């Protein structure tokens, strides 16, 4: 059975890249825009209608992909941004609901996840998402994307078009280490997957940072620099903490515990001991407070108990920033992390969830934040999370 997909804003930069890819995937496309003649010229052989004809065209469609947007490369008033990114979005969503379309895919931006971003484009995209979530009787999915590239680069990546072809790949890798990007093939693949199964209300698609050599190398250099700084400047703190733990209560100064790391490999994680030696082997949130020593509370509050993990970082088992590694016994969290692909990411001493105050007592929420970090991690994000951890 052929799937039918209506696309608004197909003449935009993202639409021009993904429409041919979706057509090649065997999806029947109905394109809608202000100028149907232009759509026919851009995509010969595909059905195209004006927005006034969209209500009739939607009948019988399996899904709507809403790409129409006033983008951040345009200068306009906040009201103009709102008219397109909020009002028109809701207008199209209402048409889809009236036509009983089973699925509405909203082209969202990863910038809306950053609450610090308050420019008119991001603010109205965030406002539109919130309003879309309040519509009853319509199954909506936000497909979040960073900068999209294909045969040519557009938007903030357009400067790469001026480079010799041999330099574009390395330049793109360098740019992606500082800001997430995604290839149009990956976007089209995500849309095809949503047409098959749209379980999650929010889906992020981006090029995997682990495939980026610049990102991998930069992150490893930052990790090793962290290890060297702690070892040289704070060796005395490590020594004092170890002696204090040894003298404060019976037991060893260091606490070794199996943890689940990258690709679900189990490794031994080291911390300063903060609990009595008869404490149960469980997640920190599951251990009764009575088992925590008075010194242990101080070490935990200051995060000094985590410093021995520089050994794990030096060995490549952990990173400075990443999802906190869990115990093999925490099967619920492992299940959620497996579902969301978190284990492709190296665990860390601190991470996005820790900065936001989410711990292992909320396994699903934690896994979702971990997954967001794994998809969108960049070198500047790691620096911001490290600084935020210090000031927390």
Instruction: Pick the closest to residue 391 from 303, 305, 309, 261 (CA basis).
Output: 303
- Compute, in degrees rounded to 10, the torsion defined by CA atoms 191, 195, 200, 205: -10
φ and ψ at residue 16, rounded to 5 degrees: -65, -25
Give pLDDT, residue 281.
Answer: 61
Give pLDDT, residue 117.
Answer: 84
pLDDT tens, position by position, 48-79:
999 999 999 999 899 999 999 877 666 788 89
**Superfamily of chain region 4-207:** NAD(P)-binding Rossmann-like Domain (3.40.50.720)
Residue ranges, CATH 3.40.50.720, the chain: 4-207
pLDDT tens, position by position, 101-152:
999 999 999 999 988 888 899 999 999 999 998 899 899 999 999 999 998 8
Give pLDDT, residue 29.
Answer: 96
pTM, 2 dp? 0.90
Give pLDDT, residue 115.
Answer: 83
Residue 321 CA: distances (Å) to CA of 210, 212, 234, 318? 14, 17, 19, 8
List per-residue pLDDT tens for the chain, 392 residues long: 689 999 999 999 999 999 999 999 999 999 999 999 999 999 999 999 999 999 999 998 999 999 998 776 667 888 999 999 999 999 999 999 999 999 999 999 999 998 888 889 999 999 999 999 889 989 999 999 999 999 888 888 888 988 998 999 999 999 999 999 999 999 999 999 999 998 899 999 999 999 999 999 999 999 999 999 999 999 999 999 999 999 988 889 998 999 999 999 999 999 999 888 766 665 565 666 667 888 888 998 888 999 999 999 999 999 999 999 999 999 999 999 999 999 999 999 999 999 999 988 899 999 999 999 999 999 999 999 999 988 76
Give pLDDT, residue 283.
Answer: 58
Report the C-alpha gap between 33 and 73 in whole angstroms: 20
Please report how many Cα atoms fall inside a 13 Å half-sphere around the Cα of residue 249, on the Cβ side: 17
């Amino acid at each position: 059975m052929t799937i039918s997909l209506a696309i608004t804003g197909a003449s935009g930069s993202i639409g021009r890249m993904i429409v041919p890819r979706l057509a090649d995937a065997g999806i029947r496309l109905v394109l809608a825009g202000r100028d149907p003649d232009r759509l026919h010229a851009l995509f010969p052989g595909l059905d195209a209608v004006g927005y006034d004809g969209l209500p009739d065209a939607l009948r019988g469609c399996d899904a709507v992909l809403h790409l129409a947007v006033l983008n951040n490369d345009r200068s306009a008033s906040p009201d103009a941004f709102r008219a397109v990114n909020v009002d028109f979005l809701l207008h199209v969503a209402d048409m889809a609901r009236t036509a009983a379309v089973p699925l509405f895919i909203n082209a969202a931006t990863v910038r809306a996840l950053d609450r610090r971003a308050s420019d008119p484009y991001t603010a109205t995209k965030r406002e539109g998402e919130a309003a879309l979530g309040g519509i009853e009787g319509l199954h909506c999915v936000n497909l979040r994307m960073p900068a999209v590239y294909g045969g040519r680069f557009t938007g903030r990546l357009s400067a790469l078009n001026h480079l010799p072809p041999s330099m574009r790949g390395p330049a793109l890798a360098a740019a992606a280490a500082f800001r997430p990007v995604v290839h149009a093939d990956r976007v089209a693949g995500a849309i095809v997957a949503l047409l098959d199964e749209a379980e999650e209300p929010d889906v992020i698609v981006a090029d995997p940072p682990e495939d980026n050599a610049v990102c991998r190398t930069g992150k490893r250099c930052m990790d090793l620099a962290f290890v060297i700084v702690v070892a040289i400047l704070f060796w005395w703190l490590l020594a004092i903490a170890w002696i204090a733990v040894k003298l404060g209560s019976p037991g060893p100064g260091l606490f070794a515990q199996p943890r689940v790391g990258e690709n679900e490999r189990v490794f031994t994680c080291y911390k300063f001991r903060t609990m009595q030696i008869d404490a149960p082997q469980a997640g920190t949130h599951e251990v009764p407070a009575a088992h925590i020593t008075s010194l242990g509370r101080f070490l935990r509050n200051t995060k000094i108990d985590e410093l021995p993990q520089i050994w794990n970082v030096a060995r490549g088992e952990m990173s400075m920033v990443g999802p906190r590694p869990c115990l093999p016994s925490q099967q619920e969290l492992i299940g959620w992390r497996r579902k969301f692909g978190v284990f492709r990411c190296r665990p860390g001493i601190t991470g996005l969830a820790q900065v936001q105050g989410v711990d292992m007592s909320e396994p699903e929420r934690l896994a979702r934040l971990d997954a967001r970090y794994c998809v969108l991690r960049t070198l500047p994000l790691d620096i911001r999370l490290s600084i935020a951890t210090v000031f927390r």
